A and B are shown apart, each in its own frame.
Chain A
Amino acid sequence: MENRFFLDAGIPPLHFGSSLSSSPMSDWQSLSPVMETQSQDCFPTDYGLQYESALSSMVSSPAASNCNMSSESLMMSTPLNSPPKLNLPVPKSMGMNSGVADFSADPGFAERAAKFSIFGSRSFNCRTTQFGPKDNGEIAACRFDPSAANVKLPRVSSSPAIKTLAANSQEESTVSKQHPEPGFKGPNSRKRKAAPKAKTNETSPSPSPNSSKVIKPNEASNEKRCKLSESNENENGSGKAVEEDANGSNTRAPEPPKDYIHVRARRGQATDSHSLAERVRREKISERMKLLQNLVPGCNKVTGKALMLNEIINYVQSLQRQVEFLSMKLATVNTSLDFNVESLMSKDVFQSNNTLQHPIFPVNSSAFLGHQSQQNPPLHGNITNGTMTQCSVDPLDSAICPKLNTHLPQINQFIKTVPQYPTFCEGDLETLVQMGFGQNQSQEMALHSQNFQGSNQVSDMKVEL
Chain B
Amino acid sequence: MYNPDHTKPGSLKSRFTTRFLRALSKIHAHKPISSSSPTEMFQRYQRIKAAADKSMAYSVRSRRTWSRAMLWKLRTRSCGRRSVKTSTIIKSQQAIMKKTRHEKQNENTTTTATTGEDGVGFCVEEDELREIVPGGEAMDLCNLLDETAHYIKCLTTQVQVMKKIADFYSL
Chosen A-B contacts, 5 in total, with CB atoms closer than 8 Å, are A319-B152, A322-B159, A399-B41, A428-B171, A455-B170
Give the size category of B's interface with A: 35 or more
Question: Which listed segment binds A: B24-32, B72-80, B81-89?
Answer: B24-32
Q: Does B103 contact A (CB under 8 A)?
A: no
Contact B170 A316 (CB under 8 A): no
Q: State which of A317, A327, A332, A448 has its C-beta within 8 Å of the C-beta of B52.
A: A327
Contacts of B49 in A (CB 8 A): 323-324, 327-328
Question: Which listed segment binds B: A70-78, A146-154, A220-228, A333-341?
Answer: A333-341
Contact B17 A345 (CB under 8 A): yes
Q: State which of A296, A317, A326, A350 has its C-beta within 8 Å of the C-beta of B5.
A: A350
Q: Does A291 contact B (CB under 8 A)?
A: yes
Q: How far is the CA of A328 from the CA of B163 in the complex (A)?
A: 11
Contact A281 B33 (CB under 8 A): no
Contact A288 B146 (CB under 8 A): yes
Q: Closest Cβ of chain B: how far from A420's Cβ, in Å?
A: 9
Using known A-B contacts A330-B162, A399-B37, A459-B170, determine if residue A345 contacts B126 with beta carbons closer than 8 Å: no
Q: Does B44 contact A (CB under 8 A)?
A: yes
Q: Does B61 contact A (CB under 8 A)?
A: no
Contact A292 B149 (CB under 8 A): yes
Contact B126 A335 (CB under 8 A): no
Using known A-B contacts A288-B149, A327-B52, A431-B167, determine if residue A347 contacts B6 with beta carbons closer than 8 Å: yes
Mark each residue of chain B from 41 to 80: 1 if its CB lies under 8 Å from any CB of chain A, else 0: 1001101110111000000000000000000000000000
> Which A residues, 171 to 193, have Cβ-Cβ distances below 8 Å to chain B?
none
Q: Kindly list 8 other residue pairs between chains A and B, CB separation below 8 angstroms, not including A306-B125, A328-B45.
A: A281-B142, A284-B142, A288-B146, A309-B116, A319-B156, A326-B162, A327-B48, A328-B48
Q: How far is the CA of A400 from the CA of B41 in the complex (A)?
A: 9
Using known A-B contacts A324-B49, A329-B166, A462-B170, determine if residue A341 contacts B128 with beta carbons closer than 8 Å: no
Contact B148 A292 (CB under 8 A): yes
Using known A-B contacts A319-B156, A323-B162, A352-B2, determine if residue A331 contacts B167 with beta carbons closer than 8 Å: no
Contact A329 B37 (CB under 8 A): no
Q: How far is the CA of A461 from the CA of B170 in the complex (A)?
A: 9
Q: How far is the CA of A431 from the CA of B120 in the complex (A)?
A: 50
Q: Closest Cβ of chain A: how far from B44's Cβ, in Å?
A: 4
Q: Does A310 contact B (CB under 8 A)?
A: yes
Using known A-B contacts A312-B129, A344-B21, A428-B170, determine if residue A351 contacts B2 with beta carbons closer than 8 Å: yes
Contacts of A317 in B (CB 8 A): 132
Q: Does A268 contact B (CB under 8 A)?
A: no
Q: How far is the CA of A147 from the CA of B67 in the complex (A)?
A: 37
Q: Closest Cβ of chain B: how far from A399's Cβ, in Å?
A: 5
Contacts of B45 in A (CB 8 A): 327-328, 331
Contact B132 A316 (CB under 8 A): yes
> Which B residues, 1 to 32, have Cβ-Cβ distances below 8 Å to chain A?
1-3, 5-6, 14, 17-18, 21-22, 24-25, 28, 32
Q: Does A161 contact B (CB under 8 A)?
A: no
Contacts of B97 in A (CB 8 A): none
Contacts of B22 in A (CB 8 A): 341
Q: Does A261 contact B (CB under 8 A)?
A: no
Q: Closest Cβ of chain A: how far from B32's Cβ, in Å?
A: 5
Q: Closest Cβ of chain A: how far from B132's Cβ, in Å?
A: 5
A residues adjacent to B (C-beta < 8 A)? 240, 278, 281-282, 284-285, 288-289, 291-292, 295-296, 304-306, 309-310, 312-313, 315-317, 319-320, 322-324, 326-335, 337, 339, 341, 344-347, 349-353, 395-396, 399-400, 403, 421, 424, 427-429, 431-432, 435, 448, 455, 458-459, 461-462
Contacts of B25 in A (CB 8 A): 339, 341
Overall SS of chain A's interface: helix
Q: How far is the CA of A312 from the CA of B131 in the complex (A)?
A: 13
Overall SS of chain B's interface: helix
Using known A-B contacts A316-B148, A323-B158, A455-B170, determine if residue A288 contacts B128 with beta carbons closer than 8 Å: no
| Chain B residue at minimum C-beta to C-beta distance from A346 | B6
| Chain B residue at minimum C-beta to C-beta distance from A429 | B171
Q: Does B36 contact A (CB under 8 A)?
A: yes
Using known A-B contacts A327-B52, A352-B3, determine if residue A341 contacts B21 with beta carbons closer than 8 Å: yes
Max count, chain A CB within 10 A of own CB: residue among B14, B115, B129: B129
Contacts of B153 in A (CB 8 A): 295
Contacts of B141 in A (CB 8 A): 285
Contacts of B41 in A (CB 8 A): 331-332, 399-400, 403
Contact A281 B120 (CB under 8 A): yes
Q: How far is the CA of A435 from the CA of B119 in the complex (A)?
A: 55
Contact B122 A305 (CB under 8 A): yes
Using known A-B contacts A288-B142, A312-B148, A330-B24, determine if residue A351 contacts B3 with beta carbons closer than 8 Å: yes
Contact B165 A344 (CB under 8 A): yes
Q: Does B96 contact A (CB under 8 A)?
A: no
Contacts of A335 in B (CB 8 A): 28, 32-33
Q: Across chains A and B, which 3 residue pairs bring their CB atoms closest together, nearest first?
A: A309-B125, A288-B145, A339-B25
Using known A-B contacts A309-B129, A330-B24, determine if residue A323 contacts B155 with beta carbons closer than 8 Å: yes
Q: Closest Cβ of chain B: how far from A364's Cβ, in Å?
A: 11
Using known A-B contacts A313-B128, A330-B166, determine if residue A282 contacts B171 with beta carbons closer than 8 Å: no
Contact A396 B36 (CB under 8 A): yes
Q: Closest Cβ of chain B: how far from A102's Cβ, in Å?
A: 52
| Chain B residue at minimum C-beta to C-beta distance from A396 | B36
Q: How far is the CA of A305 from the CA of B21 in the complex (A)?
A: 39
Contact A315 B152 (CB under 8 A): yes
Q: How far is the CA of A326 from the CA of B53 in the complex (A)?
A: 12
